[in-house]
Amino acid sequence: MHSAEFTKYASNAMLATRISFMNELSRVAERVGVDIEMVRQGIGSDPRIGLHFLYAGAGYGGSCCPKDVKALARSATDAGCPLQLLGAVEAVNERQKLVLVDKIVQRFGDDLGGKTIALWGLAFRPNTDDRARSLCGRAKFRSFV
């Protein structure tokens, strides 16, 4: 593996980690009555952290991020240095995909037959229409409910 390839994997893994961390905080904040947006603004005001990729949502996706997280984790394991953190990041991301479904079922009940539900903002990042590996799409969403 070359340094450039490793750097790309590491960069996307860092972004995925930030997103998963915010998703974890969001779940806790909701339970304890804390405004996650205020927390995000506070955390992001630290110049060492910043606000980029510091949003809670339906999880990370896209064409590169999930693939690169897996590739880095696999490379590390193959080298005898498994990255436990990346396993947790992936687990949080998979669970986060169900959070939205759980909220819909909680609001409308277990029987969603005959209901049409519109979802906005499920692209893997703001200001894009690329839905690669995101939760959106009828077939994917139906597989969750």
Residues belonging to the active site: 64
Place of tokens 């974890």: 24
* Secondary structure (3-state) at 52: coil
Strands (E) located in the chain: none
Structure tokens that stand for 25 in this block:
């905080």
Helix H or strand E encompassing 104: helix 84-108
